[in-house]
Structure 1
Amino acid sequence: MTTFYKCINWILLLGYWLLIAIITLRILIKRRAVNSAMAWLLIIYILPLLGIIAYLSFGELYLGKRRVERARNMWPYTNKWLKNFNQYNQIYTTKHSNVAQSLFDLCRYRQGIPGVKGNQLQLITDTNSVIRTLINDIQLARHNIEMLFYIWQPGGLADEVAESLMTAARKGVHCRLMLDSAGSITFFRSPWVDKMRRAGIHIVEALQVNLLRMFFRRMDLRQHRKVVIIDNCIAYTGSMNLIDPRFFKKNVGIGQWIDLMVRMKGPVATTIGTIYACDWELETGQRILPAPLDNNIINLKQENNHTIQVIASGPGFSEEIIHSALLTAIYSAREQLIMTTPYFVPSDDLLYAICIAAQRGVEVNIILPLYNDSILVDWASRAFFSELLEAGVKIYQFENGLLHTKSVLVDKQLSLVGTVNLDMRSLWLNFEITLVVDGSDFGNELACIQNNYISNSRLLDITYWENRAWWKRVIERLSYFFSPFL
């Protein structure tokens, strides 16, 4: 019996070290960023069992067998649709401003579609105005309404949107609503789900959170896009979830969330509709590619004519495209670069590009919230401040709530607005959407909004920062250690 137990112990020990060796090889073979690989290896060797479980759950970007198969079947049809869409030559352009040309070329090469012109844009900064405008568009809808949000929090203004959506569905408008399972957990536990389904709204819970699913796909994948499409001619996107900021996370003590949304009218709505169709098919298996362009949209009046490129990033889409797009935009800056984000944990490449921009004479301003709802991200972001300040970057800390706007403005000409945070999760993991706009009118409007944020912020002084307490430095470095996972 003693020999038997010894054999069992040796087999278990051998299996244990073999498993660690296999995971180590997988980490090295994946050729991930060095800091990310080192972090995972340290965790696995310091906390072997927990580290292995964590890596198998969160270490690799895996959609799951069913979604991978759907993506494989989806792209041939989507690419064929895009080729047919390309026949509308009058809505495309390959000529852009000097600062925007490189980024639009990158997007055209990677996504197979040039910049789309003939669009009217409206920047909306007030949540109440967003909701009122959205409800008005819903009431005028005739054919279809598609919605996609990370968070739908019942209460206040969100309930008014739900009521208007149910009214539209009862009138025969085809309404689809896709919400992230984790972000909208409160909604899925509320009576609104049954009420809206009874009204005829097709509701889908994206990337369902379930412990059993951890064996089939990565559990922390999140559908982070915010999109509304109405009659394939009007679209919304930006940083705002479907919430009333008067009630959302009221007990956190950071103030109301400050967001920015873009309302679009024109051919770009069909481009965004294609992204929505891909998300819908990945989640449900149902194909709903948008209808052909309406002549009224093609011949839209040219006032406020904006050229737009839409970047869809996330699993199953062009790999690392948003990271490449941000780098291209930053390196295109010649005079000024303004960035706003609630969560700032950049990759080494992005950090280097931002510092180099400042060192070559570009005025670089980064606007972050002074108080954050994520303590770990808040501390991790501070680990980058010294390097940025030494390079000449100005860091502004917004004091009037949680600045949730995600925007990049280059030389008041090239604008990037959408759902992407400057952190690892948005850059490498989440399903995100970004608008790229080439135009000084839109750029100047965005600059006014960003300058308003700056006027409500405090400028971080490098002397003050370098004299901060030693224990804060320790927490920053410890938090930075986990930055590859944030």
Structure 2
Amino acid sequence: MTWRRILKAFPTVVLVVDILIRVVAVVAVPRNRRPSSAMAWLMAIFVAPIPGSILFGLLGSSKLPQDRRDKQREINDLILENTQGLDNRAATVTQPPWFGTVVQLNRTLGAMPLIPGNTAALLPDYAGSIAAMTEAVDAATRYVHVEFYIFTRDESTFLFFDALKRAHDRGVKVRVLYDHWATIRNPQGRVTRQWLRDSGIRFEEMLPFHPTQGMWRRPDLRNHRKIVVVDGDVAFTGSQNMTDPSYNKRGNMRRGLQWKDLMVRLDGPAAIGLNALFITDWYSETDELPTDAEAEPLIEQRSGEDALECQVVPSGPGFDGENNLRLFNALVYGAQERLIIASPYFVPDDSMLYAITTAAERGVDVQLFACEVADQFLVYHAQRSYYETLLRSGVRIFLYEKPTVLHSKHFTVDDDVAVIGSSNMDMRSFSLNFEVSLMVRGSRFVDQVRLIENDYRSRSHEVTLAAWLSRPAGLQILDNVARLTAAVQ
């Protein structure tokens, strides 16, 4: 009799739960969330209320645990306190006219000051950048700080790892950070972890997921930064991971995929900004701050016409605002003549899409470099769903020839400003990933980036609106469906 009553009442219970989930979702999902993301989540919940609500519970918040947020604020306050008085430079910048306000925006959001007296060298060759970082580590006398999203010892990187071991053996403080999930799931990840242990090099895995230890957070938050700092006055950053250009994956090797990246070597006082960012992440994972003697940089300002002004801009869930998105939009609106963007994963939110299309429509020469082939199925097709809108507004789109994956992440504004870093122009990089961007003011540096952009153009084919509209209907549907999934952040 009891089971019959339960079975009889079951449809009513399911209906009530279904209605409650939908009502609660309408109230809870849109709160403090961009409209496109809220609509995507609501659609998922309304189509499948129970699975959708479970996914929202797992992935609906990009916030870090409270203790991690407290650490981020503590170190941010420390950095701001120790760099007071270095902000005066922004107020004196007059060219381009809008640049000083962008510097102030970054500073308000938690960036380092704009620091003059630096030199920078671009490293567009994959093996060449690893060789440059290896050489710098071999010259270290005090400390080496290393932070990568993917960090594996393999045929392409063993020279760098051996340099770390030599530095450690001669008494240099070597500290290594790598993203836990991205590295361990790589075919060489666990071997690399064991090598670090055997070598005695101090390392920490960033953002490990341990929900049973009171550290609940969204499991797909990632530390996507790429940083090497040597003795505080030499630093490297950019888009390249410390791994083989095939990422050691059989599928990539079978397809012949090879990653192409852009790194920059920075010499001068702005290296302290990258070092401060490393120290922030080290403290978040270990509760330890390197002593002042170890972390204090050897500041030496470069002079001459090649000297550059640089500002390190961190972003990620530890900050209240989407620092990289705000920076990118400000620079796009500042562009007057030319805006050239390289991004392997271009899935903008509405604000960025409007900024870029508006720039093109007001006469700015806007160009986007993306990939003809990619490794991430949904992101690849979501990106393609934006091409029609971009092309109609006048944006020129160039797809880099396969089987190379153009993984570089940078853009130039007119002849004055360049940004190089780890951040894609997609909603994951804006909201979920810890990223780093280096903003550089200097026409000579922009000219060097333009040479690299010219090389990209020579190895790419341009997409036309007519050709794009004629692609098969099945692909158009797939692109648009993938776009919906990209908005679920």
Same fold (TM over 0.5): yes
Separation in structure 1 between the aligned mates of residue 405 and residue 101 of structure 2, nearest angstrom:
33
2:93 to 76, 92, 95: 95
Which residues in structure 2 correspond to 1:58-207 (within 5 Å)? 58-83=59-84, 86=85, 94-98=92-96, 100-111=99-110, 113-185=112-184, 186=186, 189-207=189-207
Q: 1:176 to 1:438 in 2, by over 3 A?
A: same
Q: 1:256 to 1:413 in 2, by over 3 A?
A: same
Structure 1 counterpart of 2:385:
383
- The aligned amino acid for 2:271 is A
Separation in structure 2 between the aligned mates of residue 73 and residue 151 of structure 1, nearest angstrom:
27
In 1, are the aligned partners of 2:111 and 2:314 still within 8 Å (CA)?
Answer: no
Aligned length: 482
Q: 1:468 to 1:27 in 2, by over 3 A?
A: same
In 2, are the aligned partners of 1:138 and 1:165 still within 8 Å (CA)?
Answer: yes
Which residues in structure 2 correspond to 1:12-411 (within 5 Å)? 14=16, 17-30=19-32, 32-83=33-84, 86=85, 94-98=92-96, 100-111=99-110, 113-185=112-184, 186=186, 189-209=189-209, 212=212, 216-245=216-245, 248-249=248-249, 251-252=251-252, 253=255, 255-288=257-290, 291=293, 297-302=299-304, 304-400=306-402, 401-411=404-414
Q: 1:281 to 1:17 in 2, by over 3 A?
A: farther
SS in 2 for 1:29: coil
| Pairwise CA distance, 1:290 | 5.7
Residue 482, structure 1, aligned to residue 485, structure 2: yes
Listed one character per residue, the Cα deviations across residues 415-440 of structure 1 (whole Å, up to 9, x for unaligned) are: 01101111110011100000111110
Q: 1:87 to 1:250 in 2, by over 3 A?
A: same
Listed one character per residue, the Cα deviations across residues 196-255 of structure 1 (whole Å, up to 9, x for unaligned) are: 234331111111145757981010100000000111111100000001215644632253
- The aligned amino acid for 2:57 is L
Separation in structure 2 between the aligned mates of residue 482 and residue 246 of structure 1, nearest angstrom:
27
Separation in structure 1 between the aligned mates of residue 132 and residue 111 of structure 2, nearest angstrom:
32
Separation in structure 2 between the aligned mates of residue 363 and residue 479 of structure 1, nearest angstrom:
28
Listed one character per residue, the Cα deviations across residues 6-25 of structure 1 (whole Å, up to 9, x for unaligned) are: 89856776556445533432
In 2, are the aligned partners of 1:273 and 1:290 still within 8 Å (CA)?
Answer: no
In 1, are the aligned partners of 2:421 and 2:437 still within 8 Å (CA)?
Answer: yes
In 2, are the aligned partners of 1:277 and 1:289 still within 8 Å (CA)?
Answer: no
Q: 1:290 to 1:146 in 2, by over 3 A?
A: farther
Separation in structure 2 between the aligned mates of residue 436 and residue 462 of structure 1, nearest angstrom:
32
Q: 1:323 to 1:228 in 2, by over 3 A?
A: same
- The aligned amino acid for 1:176 is R
TM-score (norm: length of structure 1): 0.92
Structure 1 counterpart of 2:460:
457
Separation in structure 2 between the aligned mates of residue 261 and residue 41 of structure 1, nearest angstrom:
40
| Pairwise CA distance, 1:129 | 1.2
- The aligned amino acid for 2:479 is E
In 2, are the aligned partners of 1:232 and 1:290 still within 8 Å (CA)?
Answer: no
Structure 1 counterpart of 2:432:
429
Which residues in structure 2 correspond to 1:462-473 (within 5 Å)? 462-473=465-476
Q: 1:365 to 1:73 in 2, by over 3 A?
A: closer
In 1, are the aligned partners of 2:90 and 2:100 still within 8 Å (CA)?
Answer: no
Structure 2 counterpart of 1:442:
445
In 1, are the aligned partners of 2:427 and 2:487 still within 8 Å (CA)?
Answer: yes
**CA RMSD, 1 decimal:** 2.6
SS in 2 for 1:190: helix
SS in 2 for 1:177: strand
Listed one character per residue, the Cα deviations across residues 175-196 of structure 1 (whole Å, up to 9, x for unaligned) are: 1100001110137753332332
Moved more, 327-336 or 21-30: 21-30
Q: 1:402 to 1:254 in 2, by over 3 A?
A: farther
| Pairwise CA distance, 1:317 | 2.2
- The aligned amino acid for 2:133 is L
Separation in structure 2 between the aligned mates of residue 404 and residue 211 of structure 1, nearest angstrom:
32
Separation in structure 2 between the aligned mates of residue 376 and residue 402 of structure 1, nearest angstrom:
16
In 2, are the aligned partners of 1:93 and 1:117 still within 8 Å (CA)?
Answer: no
Separation in structure 2 between the aligned mates of residue 482 and residue 132 of structure 1, nearest angstrom:
39
In 2, are the aligned partners of 1:20 and 1:52 still within 8 Å (CA)?
Answer: no
Listed one character per residue, the Cα deviations across residues 124-156 of structure 1 (whole Å, up to 9, x for unaligned) are: 111111111111111110111001000123311
Which runs of 5 or more structure 1 residues have no equivalent in the other structure?
none
Listed one character per residue, the Cα deviations across residues 34-83 of structure 1 (whole Å, up to 9, x for unaligned) are: 12111101111111121111111111112123323433544443433333
| Pairwise CA distance, 1:463 | 1.1
In 1, are the aligned partners of 2:154 and 2:188 still within 8 Å (CA)?
Answer: no
Structure 2 counterpart of 1:413:
416
SS in 1 for 2:208: coil
In 1, are the aligned partners of 2:112 and 2:273 still within 8 Å (CA)?
Answer: no
TM-score (norm: length of structure 2): 0.91
Separation in structure 1 between the aligned mates of residue 464 and residue 214 of structure 2, nearest angstrom:
45
Separation in structure 1 between the aligned mates of residue 265 and residue 365 of structure 2, nearest angstrom:
29
Separation in structure 2 between the aligned mates of residue 25 and residue 467 of structure 1, nearest angstrom:
41
Q: 1:15 to 1:477 in 2, by over 3 A?
A: closer
Separation in structure 1 between the aligned mates of residue 65 and residue 272 of structure 2, nearest angstrom:
28
Separation in structure 2 between the aligned mates of residue 92 and residue 142 of structure 1, nearest angstrom:
33
| Pairwise CA distance, 1:376 | 0.9
In 2, are the aligned partners of 1:97 and 1:438 still within 8 Å (CA)?
Answer: no
SS in 2 for 1:28: coil
Separation in structure 2 between the aligned mates of residue 262 and residue 383 of structure 1, nearest angstrom:
31
* Percent identity (aligned): 30
Q: 1:130 to 1:377 in 2, by over 3 A?
A: same
